[in-house]
Structure 1
Amino acid sequence: MTIAYTNTIASDLFPNGGWDVHHHIFDPKKFTYAPDRHLTPPPATIPQFLVFKSRLGITNSVLTHGLSYGADCTSLKSFVAELNTTAPATRGVGVIDPSTVTGDELSAMHAAGVRGIRVNLYKYQAMHDVESQKTALREHARAIRGHIDAKRWSLAFTHTHPEFWGELSPIVEEVLVPAGIALVTDHFALLKGGSMLNINSENGKVDVTQQPGFREILELVCAGHLYIKLSAPYRVSSLAPGYEDLRPVVRAFVEANPERILWGSDWPHTPHMKVRTREEALRETEYLVVDDLAWLKSLRSWLSTEEWHLMMVSNPKTLYGW
């Protein structure tokens, strides 16, 4: 299996370094996938990622545990350790079973470079069920609450229903905020660009601000309660490679709170989130081909130098404890 790359080095994009806060490593020869996985990805190994990282000019990264490995973070700890031998600037975000994880296990993960937890909604069968999502948030918060005061762990929570955020906001404000747990959501919170919407304003143009969940998400960002990863634009826009229709979404996020915006590549570009049948989950699914450099250049043109530095350097440095 071949992973496609752009050919131009983008070193001018990162004069002060660049943090990719959402990528994966899949190496099934070293670590077997979980039998109840929701997706079977092809290998996407550390040497392949280092080529990708070098070609874009990325300096730091946050390895997000692939859900195909389930709640066993053995692979994550090994991958983070290996990445740090060649480029000592890698953190990890793990997956746990909140009903069984122990404080000792969380401490071992922290010592290995893990700085956050990812909620696996597939495990809860909760991708389309807001009540189950509330349960998942509460259980993960309870599992890590006593172990993150001095460690600054975050909780990554992503689903396909932006309209749920109105019901989820009280959980964020009543459970996570008092516990000091930073909440992060991936892929634009799955808010869509105009190319994937049918909402028109008075002048006949698509008004992205009118889509369900937009206001509630911006309120959480504005209050400092939610970090947004500008990752995987191909999940929310059909206008590759520059995804120009995402500009108003990006500007709304940044203007709400520039200190809560992050960037992630989602390398090696796994397909769209969906609930798969057992047969689909066990069948190897190819990655998407993405022009990451074109997307980065487009994104850079929408932001000031200060906003770009916050997103690419300062915000991830603060959140993931560099």
Structure 2
Amino acid sequence: MDKPDALMPPTPQAPLRRAPEGACDAHVHLMAGRGEFPLWDGRVENPAPGPDLDGWLKMFRTQCDTLGVSRGVIVHSILYGTDNSVTVEAVRRMGAGFRGVGLLADGASEAEMDQFVEWNMAAVRLNYVHGGVLSWDGAKAMAPLLAERGLHIQMLCHADQHMTDLAEDVRGLPTDVVFDHIGWPKDALTTQSAGFQALCALLAEGKAWVKLSALYRMCPAPYTQADPLVAALIAANPERCLWGSDWPHLMLADAEMPQAADLLDAFDRVVPDDRTRARILVENPAALFGFGASGKE
């Protein structure tokens, strides 16, 4: 069966306030042209037709320049399955200030983890919502070996459905766990669910990180319905929050294509002060991803 094409992201617009010097977009994906890198047979859509990898990188650099971002984290897209090569190449071409998040399967070897380090990967991704090649049990078993290599776990889950079951395991892991998309509450945008409260508790204890990203997947622009959740996460521990655009906004389903500037403006609307803004956009990603450290940037 033919698969639909993803939509092209919009031409970037300037935010109300440019991001500060050294700011990081901690969650983006990079595509390539048809035939450049093998696509996964199980994907639900194709990359938007047209640009090759260089073309996508040019668009991404334009967006970074428009927002004021100079660092980034390229998260491997499931459209390419377990073949991380498009993400590895994108990280390589972007150069200093950029790192990757890739896929490893349950039972991955130490040699495969060593290869991740050589590729300038920062983490392995676990999709607890849709499943995939890495299970939670597999990630827990892998965690000590990841920690030895300075790698962490990035996880997509529905906080309101899953976090109460995950929290104690997260507390006991020897490596960092980063939760995508404000914990992606599924049933309602409320701070009062036991799962969201568990996520806030993990942040407060310094046991987890969260990306303030992908609000457009949960509510319409200007994303004010998500303000209380973003504010609660920042209040729980601003030193464990990151910001990401989720560009180029793949697998939209029922969501509307966002403008990345609006997503940065939504973050700015909630962040309490310039010091906290700089911490989340600059200092936190520098600490987690090693920007500026020898061999990383």
TM-score, structure 2 as length reference: 0.84
The structure having more radius of gyration, on CA atoms, is 1
Report the Cα offset of residue 163 of structure 1.
Answer: 2.2
* Matches of 2:205 and 2:154, distance apart in 1: 17
Please give the per-residue CA displacement for 1:140-177, whole angstroms capped at 9, x wherever unaligned.
2323522432x421101112352221111122123x1x
Q: 1:61 aligns with which of 72, 95, 101?
A: 72
Match of 1:317 in 2: 286
Q: Which runs of 5+ in 2 are unaligned?
A: 1-6, 292-297
- Matched position secondary structure for 1:29: coil
Q: Secondary structure at the match of 2:21?
A: coil
Instruction: Tell me by how many angstroms 1:320 deviates.
Output: 0.8
Once the two structures are TM-superposed, the CA of residue 38 in structure 1 deviates from its matched residue by 4.3
CA distance in 1 between partners of 2:286 and 2:88 (Å) = 20
Going from structure 1 to structure 2, the CA distance change for 1:122 and 1:42 (only over 3 Å counts) comes to farther
Out of 94, 97, 101, the position equivalent to 1:93 is: 101
Q: Distance in 1 between matches of 2:253 and 2:179?
A: 14
Return closer, same or farther for 1:248/1:161 CA change in 2, 3 Å cut-off: closer
Unaligned stretches of 5+ residues in structure 1: 127-134, 199-207, 275-286
Per the alignment, residue 21 of structure 1 pairs with: 26
8 Å contact from structure 1 (residues 152, 320) kept in 2 = no
Select 1:297's aligned residue among 265, 273, 287: 265
The secondary structure found in structure 2 opposite 1:5 is coil
Indicate whether 1:230 and 2:232 are aligned: no
Contact map agreement 1:22 1:265 (CA 8 A) in 2: yes
SS in 1 for 2:136: helix
Question: What percentage of aligned pairs have identical amino acids?
Answer: 24
Match of 1:221 in 2: 203
Aligned twin of 1:211: 193
Alpha-carbon contact 1:9-1:57 (below 8 Å) kept: no
Describe the superposition over 1:45-71 as per-residue Cα deviations: whole angstroms up to 9, x where unpaired: 222212222221210000000111112
Would you say the 8 A contact 1:46–1:79 is kept in 2? yes
Tell me how far 1:7 sits from its aligned partner. 3.1
Pick which of 35-44 and 22-31 moved more.
35-44
Mapped to 1, the partners of 2:204 and 2:146 lie a distance apart of 27
Aligned counterparts, 1:128-207, within 5 A? 136-149=135-148, 151-160=149-158, 162-174=160-172, 176=173, 179=174, 181-191=175-185, 197=188
3-state DSSP of counterpart to 1:91: strand
Determine the structure 2 residue equivalent to 1:51.
62
Relative to 1, partners in 2 of residues 1:21 and 1:257: Cα closer, same or farther, differing over 3 Å? same
Counterpart of 1:31? 37
Q: Conserved in 1, the CA contact under 8 Å of 2:129 and 2:157? A: no
8 Å Cα contact 1:72-1:96 kept in structure 2: no
Q: In the TM superposition, what is the alpha-carbon distance from 1:209 to its structure 2 partner? A: 2.4
Deviation of residue 191 (structure 1)?
2.8
Residues 73 and 2 of structure 1: CA distance in aligned 2, closer, same or farther (over 3 Å): closer
Distance 2:85 2:40 in 1: 12
Total equivalences in the alignment: 278
Q: How does 1:241-256 map to 2 (within 5 A)?
A: 242-256=222-236
Residue 248 of structure 1 aligns to which amino acid in structure 2? Answer: P
Letter in 1 for 2:13: N
Write the letter of the residue equivalent to 1:310.
R
Change in CA separation of 1:216 and 1:273 when aligned onto 2, cut-off 3 Å: farther
Pairing partner for 2:119 from 104, 112, 116: 112
